[in-house]
């Protein structure tokens, strides 16, 4: 009897150990596939020396090399935030990223149909560009300019170092269509009147674009060639304030959870013998 209980106890320890290993493997695998950065933005120039009333422009470029499972981009959400007492984004002129970025003949889409919308919410200090492929069957990889941005320095701006941020930005990838992937997001610095004052960053107000039309398009300044509302809405709902997906990837995948539950149940029944 004792030898039987000893064997049962040994088997119980082995089963629990297996369950812990499976659970740990699932916990490590899920974030790696869901939370890693899918590309990177860059801005040029990165800083300006300006005076009140000046107007300047800079470019935002994006690179996606497809190394993460050969992912291609089929949608972009670029949001630009700024401190309204110092700066105003007056224009976001979209570039032809989907046609100009492709690297390699297998990714070339020179005739791709692209839907886009541009919106401005100066009350909350934000501007937004949304672009997406009409046919997302094959995404794009490569590097090119996403947009040219025009910024006006407020005429009554005090000396300060003010920033335009690109914090809430994301891409939609062909192999992960259920949630947007975050991008590495740079800022542009404006040294107003020598930049001797405070460092002023955007508020990144979550209320921005809350009053967009029922179709999801921007309420002001919509310049869309089509309706990119689905991409815009999904990106904002699924993304947190830092552009990273909320909740998705934090739970163990269903197969892993089922395996762990089955092993623990078997261990419990064996332990009662």
CATH number, domain at 135?
2.60.40.680
- CA–CA separation, 105 and 107 (whole Å): 5
Q: What is the domain extent for residue 72?
A: 38-238
One domain, residues 84 and 134: yes
Statement to judge: residues 75 and 20 lie in one domain? no
**Residue 267 sits in the same domain as residue 221:** no
DSSP state of 108: -
pLDDT of residue 77: 94
200 lies in the same domain as 66: yes
pLDDT attached to residue 218: 43
Q: Does 8 lie in the same domain as 93?
A: no
Would you state the pLDDT for residue 31?
A: 32
φ, ψ of residue 146 in degrees (nearest 5): -90, -40
- Inside any domain, residue 264: yes
- Residue 81 · residue 168 · CB < 8 Å: yes
Residue 247 lies in a domain: no
Q: Which of 65, 76, 148, 59 is nearest to 112 (CA)?
A: 76
Q: Do 162 and 264 belong to one domain? A: no
What's the pLDDT score for residue 246? Answer: 31
Burial label for 67, CB within 10 Å (0-12, 13-18, 19+), is: exposed
Residues 20 and 52 in one domain: no
Residue with tokens 């197969």: 255
Same domain, 103 and 134: yes
The answer to whether position 45 is within a domain reads yes
- How many separate domains does the chain show? 2
Q: Is residue 25 part of a domain?
A: yes
**Same domain assignment for residues 78 and 18:** no
Encoded tokens for 46: 């990165």
Distance CA 116, CA 179 (A): 19
Is the residue at 208 inside a domain? yes
245 assigned to some structural domain: no
Query: Is the domain of 20 the same as that of 120?
Result: no
The answer to whether residues 155 and 71 belong to one domain is yes
Q: Is residue 246 part of a domain?
A: no
Per the CB < 8 A criterion, the answer to whether 41 and 95 are in contact is no
Separation of CA 267 from chain center: 42
List the chain residues with pLDDT less than 70.
1-38, 67-70, 104-108, 212-273
Same domain, 16 and 51: no
**124 with 211: CB under 8 angstroms?**
no
* Tokens matching residue 119: 């919106």
Residue 248 lies in a domain: no
- For 58-110, write each residue's pLDDT tens digit: 999 999 877 666 678 999 999 999 999 999 999 999 999 998 888 765 666 77
- Closest by Cα among 113, 127, 92 to 209: 127
Give me the residue label for tokens 């974030």.
31
């Amino acid at each position: 009897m004792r030898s039987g209980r000893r064997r049962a106890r040994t088997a119980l320890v082995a089963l629990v150990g297996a369950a812990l290993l499976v659970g740990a493997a699932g916990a490590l695998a899920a974030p790696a596939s869901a939370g890693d950065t899918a590309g990177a933005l860059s801005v040029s120039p990165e800083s300006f020396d300006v005076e009140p009333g000046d107007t300047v422009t800079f470019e935002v470029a994006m690179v996606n090399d497809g190394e993460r499972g050969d992912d291609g981009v089929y949608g972009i959400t670029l949001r630009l935030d700024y401190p309204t007492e110092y700066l105003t984004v007056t224009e976001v002129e979209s570039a032809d990223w989907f046609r100009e970025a492709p690297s390699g003949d297998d990714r070339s889409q020179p005739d791709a149909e692209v839907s886009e919308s541009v919106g401005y919410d100066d009350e909350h200090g934000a501007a937004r560009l949304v672009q997406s492929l009409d046919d997302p069957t094959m995404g794009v990889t490569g590097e090119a300019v996403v947009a040219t941005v025009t910024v006006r320095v407020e005429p009554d701006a005090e000396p300060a170092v003010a920033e335009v941020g690109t914090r809430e930005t994301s891409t939609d990838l062909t192999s992960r269509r259920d949630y947007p992937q975050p991008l590495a997001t740079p800022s542009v610095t404006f040294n107003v009147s020598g930049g001797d004052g405070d460092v002023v960053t955007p508020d990144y107000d979550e209320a921005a674009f809350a009053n967009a039309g029922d179709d999801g398009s921007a309420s002001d300044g919509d310049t869309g060639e089509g309706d990119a509302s689905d991409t815009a809405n999904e990106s904002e709902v699924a993304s947190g304030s830092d552009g990273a997906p909320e909740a998705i990837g934090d739970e163990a995948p269903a197969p892993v959870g089922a395996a762990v539950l089955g092993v623990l149940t078997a261990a419990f029944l064996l332990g009662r013998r």
